[in-house]
């Protein structure tokens, strides 16, 4: 009796067991590797499994006639679903050694491994099942045609489920990673950019439409009002219009108050604790599978929560900016100067900080704190503060105290912006050459925030009209800056200002003395 008689003998009880109902073959077949040194086994396996399908996908059989050849095939094809491996080939334990290599060296734990042997005495069943990471073990004498098919159905289902679990795991890891990115956002613009990148990365999308929207007003309202946070392939703004079919789907989801999807699109819906409605619309040229819908649902929820946090963060930042401007302007108005000075100094300082190489976060702190540089002037008497002529020695001594007073006012706060403000107020009259006040600090002993604000403050003061002087023409201002490089001012910062003067003049023009801009 030959191997093929044992392997594919007729099954008396289950002759008519039907295959899974076939669907149109998918582009990607299931890869099954047959490893056996007997040519007839390969031929009969091909014959029996001809036309076999599982979940509408056909089989593609790969063949190897030794463990060594099988290893090469496995290295070339990392997506083999099932391997049916003979135990005895070039050695009595070649199949067992191959199993160890697959699991330990190739680190392939998804492939389903089925061992079979015509010589069970060479590898006792209990020993093999106990000591090797296999999924089934059969004697060739018991593997009939119908049992082989049944075995494959079981193995392919297991492989499919493992792949689903693994894909879900990787997808959730990407969702978690995207959440970390959201938490690091400092602005809605940055947040919008991350949404598009992370949504595309999540699903491997290249040519797709992605729209992320937030509804305004009461979520119980019937009329939908949308704020488009981000859209792929174009810039959003007040004039941006959603495609009609997208807006129709969003309106439908707004009525349903739940996520909704079709074959090739997904609309996620989530409401935050504060009642803000959020929508994520994603479409692509091919079908979404169930995993995609689950991942997008999680992703949409994270977007909603993160968006609300970013909005609150921007509100707090804007409140800090407004408070800083208001305090700075109050001091300027007391000295009969325009409030635009503090706005120009703030923006000059930010630009200097960025050009100097500071992080965006530190530059933003300097921008928010620099308007407080003269807050100590509230302690200076009016007759000194607004004197049109030159101060005498006693008046000048009183005038100089505003640096220390400003530090004392701000340093008690634990707010990092006000802490920076305390440093700036205290050190913005120090000089690079050590001839400044109140402590005579020199060079890099002066905090970078103090050096930046000092340059920004003097640059604007010289170019603006004051109660004690007219505005200097710009060539004279630049000449003064050049002369004081390395003396009054940090030479590196001075070079930055002089080499990028057009950008600083643009800021000056954006905040003229009669400006009401915030």
CA–CA distance, 453 with 458 (Å, rounded to integer): 8
What letters, b where the CB count within 10 A reaches 16 and e where it falls short, cover 361-400?
ebbbbbbbbbbbbbbbbbebeeebbeeeeeeeeebeeebb
Q: DSSP for 37-103, please give it.
A: S-HHHHHHHHHHTTT-EETTEEEEEEEESSHHHHHHHHHH-TTEEEEEEES-SSSTTHHHHHHHIII
CA–CA distance, 234 with 71 (Å, rounded to integer): 48
CA–CA distance, 314 with 307 (Å, rounded to integer): 10
CA–CA distance, 321 with 341 (Å, rounded to integer): 14
* Structure tokens that stand for 238 in this block: 């007040």
Q: DSSP for 239-253, please give it.
A: T----HHHHHHHHHH
Q: Please give the distance of CA 506 from its chain centroid, rounded to a whole number.
A: 33
Choosing from 138, 140, 365, 377, the catalytic residue is: 377
CA–CA distance, 447 with 156 (Å, rounded to integer): 66
CA–CA distance, 56 with 38 (Å, rounded to integer): 30
Indicate the angle between helix axes 290-334 and 188-203, nearest 10 degrees: 170
Known catalytic residue: 249?
A: no
Q: Which element (helix H / strand E) includes 265?
A: strand 265-271
Catalytic residue IDs: 377
């Amino acid at each position: 009796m030959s191997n093929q008689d044992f392997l594919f003998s007729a099954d008396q009880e289950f002759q008519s067991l039907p295959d899974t109902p076939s669907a149109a073959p998918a582009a990607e077949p299931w890869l099954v590797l047959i490893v056996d040194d007997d040519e007839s086994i390969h031929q009969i396996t091909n014959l029996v499994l001809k036309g076999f399908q599982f979940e509408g996908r056909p089989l593609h059989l790969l063949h190897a006639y030794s463990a060594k050849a099988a290893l090469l095939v496995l290295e070339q094809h990392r997506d083999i679903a099932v391997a049916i491996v003979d135990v005895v080939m070039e050695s009595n334990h070649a199949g067992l050694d191959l199993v160890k290599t697959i699991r330990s060296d190739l680190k392939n734990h998804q492939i389903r491994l089925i061992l079979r042997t015509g010589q069970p005495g060479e590898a006792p069943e209990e020993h093999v099942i106990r000591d090797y990471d296999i999924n089934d073990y059969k004697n060739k004498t018991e593997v009939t045609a119908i049992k082989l098919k049944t075995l494959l159905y079981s193995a392919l289902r297991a492989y499919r489920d493992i792949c689903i679990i693994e894909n879900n795991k990787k997808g959730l890891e990407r969702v978690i990673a995207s959440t970390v990115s959201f938490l690091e956002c400092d602005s809605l613009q940055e947040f919008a950019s991350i949404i598009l990148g992370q949504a595309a990365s999540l699903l491997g999308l290249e040519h797709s439409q992605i729209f992320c929207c937030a509804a305004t007003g009461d979520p119980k309202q019937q009329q939908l009002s949308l704020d488009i946070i981000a859209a792929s392939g174009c810039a959003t703004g007040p004039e941006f219009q959603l495609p009609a079919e997208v807006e129709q789907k969003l309106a439908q989801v707004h009525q349903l108050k739940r996520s909704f999807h079709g074959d090739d699109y997904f609309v996620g819906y989530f409401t935050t604790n504060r009642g803000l409605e959020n929508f994520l619309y994603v479409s692509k040229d091919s079908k979404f599978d169930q995993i995609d819908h689950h991942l997008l649902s999680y992703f949409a929820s994270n977007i909603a929560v993160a968006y609300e946090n970013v909005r609150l963060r921007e509100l707090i930042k804007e409140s800090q900016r407004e408070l800083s401007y208001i305090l700075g302007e109050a001091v300027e108005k007391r000295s009969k100067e325009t409030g635009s000075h503090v706005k120009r100094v703030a923006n000059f300082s930010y630009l200097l900080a960025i050009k100097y190489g500071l992080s965006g976060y530190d530059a933003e702190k300097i921008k928010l704190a620099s308007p407080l540089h003269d807050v100590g002037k509230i302690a200076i008497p009016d007759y000194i503060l607004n004197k049109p002529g030159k101060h005498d020695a006693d008046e000048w001594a009183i005038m100089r105290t505003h640096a220390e007073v400003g530090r004392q006012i701000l340093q008690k706060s634990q707010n990092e912006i006000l802490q920076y403000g305390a440093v700036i107020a205290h050190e913005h009259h120090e000089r690079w050459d050590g001839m400044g006040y109140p402590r005579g600090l020199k060079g890099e002993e002066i905090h970078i925030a103090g050096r930046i604000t000092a340059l920004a403050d003097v640059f604007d003061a010289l170019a603006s009209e004051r109660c004690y002087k007219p505005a200097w023409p710009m060539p004279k201002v630049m000449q003064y800056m050049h002369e004081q490089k390395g003396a009054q001012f940090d030479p590196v910062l001075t070079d930055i200002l002089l080499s990028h003067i057009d950008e600083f003049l643009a800021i000056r023009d954006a905040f003229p003395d009669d400006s009401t801009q915030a």
